[in-house]
Structures are given as C-alpha cells and as structure tokens.
Structure 1
C-alpha cells in the first residue's frame, strides 16, 4: 500500500467511530460493500454504507465460510454469491476474531488484496478499542442498575439485602448516613453524577434518582454530629454544573434512610429559593412519634385488609408489594411506576385493587392523608402496653402534644399578613388538590394558585407540589388546628 493510503487508514482508525470510517474508506477504494462481523458473543457488526443485503447474507449462504475463517480453519475464503464476488478475510488472531467480508462486482486485484492486508492491523486495533468501550458501557450500565437496586432495597426497608449487594460493589453502606439530593438542569445530570462522585469521595453512594430526572441522590457517611459544610460542597459542584442546588438531611441510621431522603427532598425545595443554593432540613417534630402505641394500633386496624391479603395466584402482587405500591404512589403520584419499575397500567390496576380491598376512595385527600400516616406508623411487632383495640382516628389527635405539633407546623402561616396563604391551603385540600376548582373558588388564576403554593413551600421549608410531599402532615395539622377537618368538596 502506498504510504499515503496507509497513513489515511491509520488516521481514520484512530479517530472517533474509527471502524466505520475505515470501512467507508475501503469501500470507496474497492468500489464494493464491506462488513466487519465480530464473534457472536460480541454482538457487533459494522458496515459500510448500503451493505444491508451483505449483512443478511452473513446469516445465510456465507455463514459457513465466515465461521471457517473466524475459527482459523482456513486463511481466507473467496466465493461467488448473489451475483457478487465475495472475499472473507480474517482481522486479528483466531479463534474469537472479527472477519472482513468484501462484496464487489469482479474479483479483488493483487493491489486491492494488498490494501486490505495492510489495513488489517489498524482495523483490528480500532475494533478492539470499540469492543472495549462497549464492554465498559455495559459494565457502567450494570453498575448503575445494581446501585439503583440497592437504593430501592433501602427505600422499601430491605436493609440486609441492600447491605449484601452493596458489599459486592463497594463502598459498604454506612451505619449512620446523611442524604444529600443534588439537583441540576434538564440536561446536566450526565455531568452532575460523576461530579458528585468526585466531590463526595469513594465512601459515598451516588445514585441518579430513578423518579426525578434532574436529581442525584448521595448517601454519605455521617459519623460526626456536625452537618458537613454544604457551602464547600456546593461550590465544588457548581464548578462543573453552575445551576446545581442541594438539599441536606439530618444524620439518620441506615434503616431510616427513607426519612433522610424525605428530609433532603424538603430541604431542596428551600434551596431553590436561596442564593447560596443549598439548605439543611429543619425538623419540627414527627407526628408518628407523638402518636405512639395508640397510633400503631390504629394503623394496624386501618391497613388490616392489606396486611392479611393473600394473592389468589402466585404471580399476583402480595401484601408487601401492595403496601409498597400504595406508599410509592402516595409519595410520587404517577411517577411511582418509575420508582417501582412497573408499567403505568400495572400501577393503575394495583391502585384499583388496593382501593377495593380497603373499601376507600383513593382520590380523596382525606383518605390519602390517613393512609399515608398509617403506612408511617405500621409496625407488626408487639408493643407492651399497646391498646387491645384500635382507637378512632378522630381521637388520636385529641392530646395537648398533638395540638402543639400542629401549631408548630402551621406557625409560618398563622401571622395575620399570611392568612391568605392559609386560606389557599385550606381550599386546596377542600377541593382534593384540583387546580381549576381551587382557583375558581379563590377567584384567582391557576398560575396565581401555583405562585401561592410555592410561597407556602418556601415558608414551611417543605415540598408540597412534588412528591415526596409534606401535604399530608399539613392536612393533619390543619385538621387539628381548626374545629373540624377541612370540608370535602
């Protein structure tokens, strides 16, 4: 091969998409069609333009010749097929090597064979680079899928399974953790995820959120009592992703990582309104802790039909899956299908089944708030001193500490100059979160309603419009604070 042609082949082979570019160059020089076909396990076939018929011939009349050359039984093969003169040539050492199949009108000349022989080494090196990149992409995809599975196991309370899976990948999951949720722009998560790994270090678990496409979830060790310096972290993140924002939860035990996630999610809703682009979660007490044994007994009674459910067929979801589906839907709405890895029609069918089992209308906010609270409280372990029978829901809140909790939750909305916002929230619940009826009742536009609710989010330091939402706690707080629950429309 003249040195100029060889230099051109090497240039094409070392550039992006080198294999295809070399094949296009050879196809033009030989006035034919070319295919480079890898072993079956590689599942890779690269072609020059317009070689679709030649690809089909690989699995038919050329299959035997290709197999013999690939295995090294013959050095090359030349056949006449479908009106073409076809040459089958090896690229690289046997046995698992790709083969170059050239089809043209008329046999190859000596000069053309020399061209193919000299191009074999650059083509082989480019092929191995392409295969290595494909394998790396598959490994990265598998790694990401397993890390997402670990996150899912943590979220559904399967702590031992999450630990075992995590130990195979490293790092091991920490006993005490702090959840960070980092948010980027619509197209920046591809940059944000590796940047989070750089900033948080090898001891942290970094997982792109399977539900919210702009979020990256970071589970970092939290051995010290002090909150890590978010100003330092966010500064390093915004070096690569200027629009990054971060919400940080409090230190939690690994078994409570769901709590830490919700805290970070609420903190992120505050961070969006701050120039420093980060916020830590500010706890104001947990309703479940205040309700105690009576609350757990009420929860067990409320969810009893699901807890006792046994599927009619082995392939149907069991009680655990139905409870997980209900919780995911209450937190994420229609996005629960992504979180649960099921089709949206499957989600809809499960919700209909759950509503029928519980004999409850899942479209009502009152029902959603009660069921969400029950799911937070449910605990099938026996508790000494727990009441033998569940108390009524209305009596659960008739205690001074619950009233103090409600006043604390609502305190940002109680000043006289914010009563409009309190009225807006009450109307929002009365109309089951339906934008048009609420806006009509308040005499404002849908945009005006969203602005008011966004202001409520900012004041409360809690997410309301996107799940996991604090709207259920807010509903219960309003129910306790007023003489009766908000009237259903």
Structure 2
C-alpha cells in the first residue's frame, strides 16, 4: 500500500515536504509519525489509499465526495493564490477522509499555515508540475507500489501452496513474510521463549487471543506495534505474533491475516501427515500381528486381529479376504542394495492391491513378506511379483508353494530357500519346488520315529507346550533371533523355549546336529501316518538315513557341489565346529570373510541360505550323512536302540 515515504524518497521522488523552520526535512528520518497538530514534521509513514485532484476551491470531485486515506492534489492560481476559504476547505477535506494535501510551490507558505491549522500534512511537487501531472505521477507510483505488494503476496501464497503440497510446517512461510514486511513474525504458544518475552508486557491480550475470546488484536509493544492473530479453529490456538516499527499499514495487516490462515492450513497438513504416519505405523503393526499368528499356526487368531481392518479401506479389507482362503503362498521380496525397504513394500502393495498381505519382515531389514491366497494354476504370485523385481535392478524374490495357513511358517521357510536360489537366477525370482528332498525320500515308518522322538514333550505342561513348542520350531527353522522377531518375543525367550523343548526330547540345543534331528522330527511329525502302516518298533534314525532311496537322493542333491573347490572338507569342518565362523576359519586357515563368501557360494548351489542361522545347516548335515560324506554317528538318535 502506498505511503508518503514512497512519494517523497528514492531517486525520483514525486513530492517533497516544504522546508520547515527549525527542522529541515530529511527523507531518511526514522521514528514514529509526529502528532497531527505538528504538521511541520513530515509523517512519511502515513499510508494513502486514494489520490484525486480538487477544483479551484479545493473541493473533492462530485463523484468522490468521500475518500479513504486520501491524498488531495490542490490547484492554485498562477501567482500562488489560495482561496479565501482555504482553512474551511481543508477542514472539509479532512472530514471527507483526506490525510495529506499537495500544494503548488508558490502556494506553500500560505497553504502550509492553513494545513497546519487544519491538522493535515502539506506537501509540494518535487518539480514544476501542474496538478494534473502531479496526480498522474502519484497514481503511477501508487500502481508500482501496489504491483510490488501484489508480487510479494503472490510469493507468499506460492510458497504456502508449495509447503502445503509437501506437508511442511509454516516456518519457511513466516520467514518470507518477515522479509516482505520488515517485521518479526512468528508462531508462539506457552513454553516458547518468544511467548514469554511478549507476555511480559501483553500477557492478557495474548491469553485472550489464544483462548479464542478475540481473533485478532493490535497493541503497542515498547517502540513497535504488536499484531496478534489466532491460528486455526481448535482452542487453545497458536498465536501469530508480528512486531514492526512504525506500525502495520492496512495492506500488511491484510497480508498477516492471510498468513494466519495459511499457517493454519499448513499446521493441519503437518498434523494430517503425522496422523497418517501414526495410522500407517499402527496398520503395519497389525499386519505384523496377523503374520505372527499365522507363523504360529493360529489362523483363528489371525482372523480376529484382521477383522477391524475391514473398516479402513479396500487394501486392509483384502487382508480378511486373503485369510478367507483355505490355502496360500508366502513370498519374500528382498530390496535392492542401497534401496529403502519402504519403496519395495510400496511396489509390492501396488502389485497385489487388495489381494494380499504385505508386511515389512520384522526379522530381516532387507525383506518384505507377501502373503497371497492360493492360485489354482500357481502362476499368479510369480506374475504379480515379477514386475516388482524388474522395476529395480538388484531386487530378488522367492515364492513358496501353496500350503494351508496352519503351515505358514513352512511356507516362509520355503520362500527363503527360493530367495537364496533367486540370487543365481537371471530373472531374480524363483518358486520353491516343494518339500525337502529327505522328507520326500524317507519311508512312511520314519514318521513313527518322529512321533517317538516328540513323545518326550509329554513331560511339559500344556501351557509350556502351547508357548514353547511353536517358538522352538521357528527357532530351529530361522534361528532364535529371527524367530523371536517374527513371533514378537526377544531372543533370550526364544532360546529358553528352544532349550526347554530340546531337553524334553533328549537333545542339546547348543549342538547343530541335535538341532538338525529335532527339526527333522518336527517336520516328519507334521505328515500323517498312513493308516495301513503296520504297528512296529520305531526304526533308528541312522538306519533310515542309510536306506537306498535316501542315499540316492542325497547323492544327487550334493552333486552340484562338484563345481566348487573342496566343498566337503569346508562343510564338514564348519559343521564339526558347530557352524562357528571364527573357529571354522581358523581350522581351515582362511579369513572369516573368505569363509563367508565360500559358504554363500555353496548355499547358492544348494539353494540353501548357509550364511544365516536356521534350518539350512540342518539340511546340509543330514544330506552329507545320508550321502556318506559324514559318518552316521554325526547325528544323535534320541529314539534309537538303547535309548
């Protein structure tokens, strides 16, 4: 908005104040405007809304009988004569809204005295211009000022729109407004240092604005003016506080009112983003809970947890639809190196839509778990996830075969095996071929042996069995740390439960060979005993592993290791040292990193994650025993003869 400073300063001023006796005019003078009674001192901070030219009797045009903060350009005769009724005319102009008048230079002495008497500042043209030219230059200056004000407002609104799109807070907006207005602009509330500073002098006004009794207030604060705006609709409000020397002219007050509204919108956007993130985190937690129930084989519990999700949108409603299927598949998608796992999860969610459950794996920060209902032809999971893998080089995926939801944990184990194989697959995605080779080759009477081994669990109470057995099984499959994270218990608890279960079975949880036997017993016990199987004494494990079908299958499985350099010695040493990397590396005379690389390479050939804790070492041990590469005495048999 135009003020007298714009008209009287700068390289090309339009107006000037006539010389005042005892105080020459200085355009750069600072400080508040003088009282109206002392018009000899220039009031450059006075703003001007309108500018018009008066007639020879110093009257406003007929079509503008009143003005709002008007500047009246007064004509005079060629000799500088002023009307006889100059004082009356000037007082009439003041009553009509005129805040300053422009006199011809020749009329300045007499006109200045009349203006002083009327209480209105008097100025003169900066050059020898008539009233029309003076008015034209005033209006041109006003147009330039208004254009600049519009640009500043547009910058503020554009910045606010950009911040709103990015869900940023109002900090950048307030800095821009402070730069535009030349004041101090901030959002304050109790507990902030700026609130305490302002409240030291204007506490009552601040509290009234904050509590919503008034929406805005303007009060003096030392040598400046303090303008307050309530921000938002929720009480108590945050308060927009603006301090400026020389007061706040109307156009800046309007800008601050807009700023308060924009700050409220930005605050809402920030709160919305925060609430959305909280909700998203909560939903991810619920999805993890659904997965944990499935990993424990508790389908009913998973359904109960998923029921409230149906009201939160199609994607969450789809979780219940997935669980409604009797069977399904589990996929594990590994993010690309240096990729944020959240992007991988988003890609999976977009791929499966409302037809699957997508969970950030709680056990491995690289993995995203996708649970999908069974597809009759088995091709849908691969078709859905292949584009996800192709989107980003380095992504991998492993997909299990279909299983009932009670065997979700086995599906996850199969997906991890397939993921290991995917590292050597050009497409980066592999579907697991089925059950373990040993399970497929062992005769039905091996299940009798498994039930005999698990008979020791009867020593445990019902509560111990319900809690410890599922955890122990997952610890055997994935290791105690990963199992604990998948099931929502800590590593120590998982280890304690594993120890309790294996001791009841007559095994030592610290030995990899003992864990391999327990793992095999649990997997065999999941298979039904054929009804036509004749009652017989349980066979020994060592005898079962030496039967021809088992030996042949194990030999074929290990044939792929012929591509590697001395794999039997490396694996035998590793297993003999209970899979401890440091002891194995020392025994083989190699660096631990070299050992890890060679184990990873062998695991890729066998499609087993040998670099991770879990069932992979168990399977390698049993394969090597069955193939005769390790003695059968390497595995204990808690149900064997003499036990």
Q: Pick from 570, 578, 590: which aligns with 1:432?
A: 578
Please state how far the C-alpha of 1:191 moved relative to its aligned partner. 1.7
Q: What's the TM-score once normalised by structure 1's chain length?
A: 0.78
The answer to whether the 8 A contact 1:298-1:390 is kept is no
Q: Which residue of structure 2 aligns with residue 372 of structure 1?
A: 519
Q: For 1:15 and 1:404, how far apart are their aligned partners in 2? A: 70
Alignment partner of 1:477 out of 617, 623, 632: 623
Who is 1:270 aligned against? 421
1:30-179 matched pairs, under 5 angstroms:
31-32=183-184, 34-35=186-187, 52-54=192-194, 69=209, 72-76=212-216, 89-92=229-232, 94-96=233-235, 98-102=237-241, 109=248, 113-167=253-307, 168=309, 169-171=316-318, 172=321, 173=323, 174-179=325-330
What does the per-residue CA deviation read over 1:74-113, in whole Å, with 9 as the maximum and x for residues that have no partner? 33467999x9997653223x44574224275989645554
Contiguous gaps of at least 5 residues in structure 1: 38-44, 46-50, 311-317
Structure 2 partner of 1:398: 543
Q: Residues 57 and 152 of structure 1: is their aligned pair in 2 closer, same or farther, counting only changes over 3 Å?
A: farther
Match of 2:473? Answer: 327
Q: Which residue of 2 aligns with 1:338?
A: 485
1:363 CA displacement: 2.5
How many correspondences in the alignment? Answer: 462
The alpha-carbon deviation at position 366 of structure 1 amounts to 2.0
Closer/same/farther in 2, CA of residues 292 and 329 from structure 1, 3 Å limit = closer
Distance in 2 (alpha carbons) for counterparts of 1:124 and 1:337: 45
Q: By how many angstroms is 1:151 displaced?
A: 0.8
Larger radius of gyration: 2
1:453, distance to aligned residue in structure 2 (A): 2.3
- 1:423-462 to 2 correspondence within 5 Å? 423-462=569-608
The answer on 1:298 being equivalent to 2:453 is yes
Bigger Cα displacement from structure 2, 8-17 vs 356-365: 356-365
Number of the residue aligned with 2:634: 486
Q: 1:196 aligns with which of 348, 354, 374?
A: 348
TM-score by length of 2: 0.61
Contact 1:269/1:457 (<8 A) preserved: yes
Secondary structure of the equivalent of 2:170?
helix
- Once structures 1 and 2 are overlaid, which stretch shifts more, 96-105 or 270-279? 96-105
Aligned-partner SS, 2:364: coil
Output the CA distance in 2 between the equivalents of 1:327 and 1:64. 67
The higher relative CO (CA closer than 8 Å, separation ≥ 6) is in: 1
Residues of 2 paired with 1:333 and 1:400: CA distance?
27
Contact residue 431 and residue 437 of structure 1 kept, 8 A: yes
For the aligned residue pairs, the C-alpha RMSD in angstroms reads 4.4
Pair 1:485–1:107, CA change in 2 (3 A): farther
Q: Deviations over 1:259-282 (max 9, x none)?
A: 211111101101101212122212
Q: CA deviation at 1:203?
A: 0.9
How much does 1:431 deviate? Answer: 0.8
Tell me the alpha carbon deviations over residues 196-232 of structure 1, each in whole angstroms, 9 at most, x when there is no partner.
12223321212121111121111122231444473x5
**1:369, CA displacement in angstroms?**
1.9
